[in-house]
Chain A
Amino acid sequence: MEIKFRHDVDNVLKEAKKQNKPVLLDFSAAPM
């Protein structure tokens, strides 16, 4: 089980509005 982070933030923000769901936005420098 893992978090499937998305990287298309603009699309995420649009979808959040449509789905009425909050967004968790992670600013990271961790190794990927």
Chain B
Amino acid sequence: MWPDERVVKFVNDNFIPARVHVKEDPEAFKKFGEKYNAHWTPTVLELDPNGEEFYRVEGFLPLEDFLAQLMLGRAHMDFKQGKWDEAEKKFREIYEKLPNADAAPEALYWAGVSRYKGKNDAVALKETARAFQTRYKDSSWAKKASIWA
């Protein structure tokens, strides 16, 4: 998954990348595994600039699903920081660029929430609920958004 150009660009553009390897450096693996409660590989953590975890991806995923998860985590970081416009843009990018990824319905949901938070306009939620009527209809995120219809 790592050699893919899109993943490489996304990681290099958004993060300082670091790795602890279970065999090459078991002491570091133990130290940071305990610190971050990561005891299985592959586990990828997204940490904020203060070193606090804000997202994790556990287990292997096919390329597009993996990239979508990384993007979802990064978008959630903006959301948690109240950067609504940035978060909406990042969530939107996921389902526009990777519409078949498992994370796409979740991204559609949170893009709507971000828009609502940024504009303080309930129309954003109604539009999101409507969007779920034509795509990702069987997802749990469509059920969650159905209350807004």
A13: chain B residues within 8 A (beta carbon): 47, 51
- Total inter-chain residue pairs, C-beta < 8 Å: 126
The reply to whether A16 and B49 contact each other, CB–CB distance below 8 Å, is yes
Query: A1-32: contact bitstring with B at CB < 8 Å (1 yes, 0 no)?
Result: 11111111100110111011111111111101
* Contact assessment for A27 and B32 in the assembled complex, using a CB-CB cutoff below 8 Å: yes
**Which residues in B have their C-beta under 8 angstroms from that of A1?**
5, 8-9
User: Chain B interface: which size bin?
Assistant: 35 or more
B45 contacts the other chain (CB 8 A): yes
Q: What separation, in Å, do the CA atoms of A24 and B2 have in the docked complex? A: 13
How far, in angstroms, from A13 to B45 measured CA to CA in the complex?
13
Q: Are B32 and A28 in contact (CB under 8 A)?
A: no
Q: Do A29 and B41 have beta carbons less than 8 Å apart? A: yes
For residues 42 through 82 of chain B, which have their beta carbon under 8 Å from a beta carbon of chain A?
42-51, 54, 70, 74, 77
Look across to chain A and name the residue whose beta carbon is closest to the beta carbon of B51. A13
Asked if B42 and A27 make an inter-chain contact with CB atoms under 8 angstroms apart, the answer reads yes
The interface of chain A, by Cβ under 8 A from chain B, is 1-9, 12-13, 15-17, 19-30, 32
B residues in contact (CB < 8 Å) with A: 2-3, 5, 7-9, 11-12, 14-25, 28-29, 32-33, 36, 38, 40-51, 54, 70, 74, 77
A-B contact pairs, 28 of them (CB 8 A): A2-B3, A3-B12, A5-B17, A5-B18, A5-B19, A6-B16, A7-B28, A16-B16, A16-B49, A20-B49, A21-B49, A22-B14, A22-B46, A22-B77, A24-B18, A25-B18, A25-B19, A25-B44, A26-B20, A27-B22, A27-B29, A27-B32, A27-B42, A28-B41, A29-B23, A30-B21, A30-B41, A30-B42
